[in-house]
């Protein structure tokens, strides 16, 4: 199949006004990507064709 069956966006909800929590969550996700942990977890799962977004791909922004 040409399309990925695993291309499902994931969402983490942070309470409104908790800018420091949002930044911490984003840093954690980026660290997990950069360390290779996420890629190793995918590889050990046996799923073929699934790749995480690259480290550093999140944009540190806070909604109004």
**CA 28: distance to chain centroid?**
9
Q: What integer pLDDT is reported at residue 58 of this predicted model?
A: 66
pLDDT in tens, 41-61: 989 988 888 888 888 776 655
Q: What integer pLDDT is reported at residue 20 of this predicted model?
A: 92
């Amino acid at each position: 199949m040409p399309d990925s069956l695993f291309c499902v966006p994931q969402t983490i909800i942070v309470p409104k006004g908790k800018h420091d929590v949002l930044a911490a969550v984003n840093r954690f996700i980026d660290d997990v990507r950069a360390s290779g942990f996420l890629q190793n977890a995918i590889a050990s799962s046996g799923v073929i064709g699934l790749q995480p977004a690259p480290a550093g791909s999140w944009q540190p922004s806070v909604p109004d």
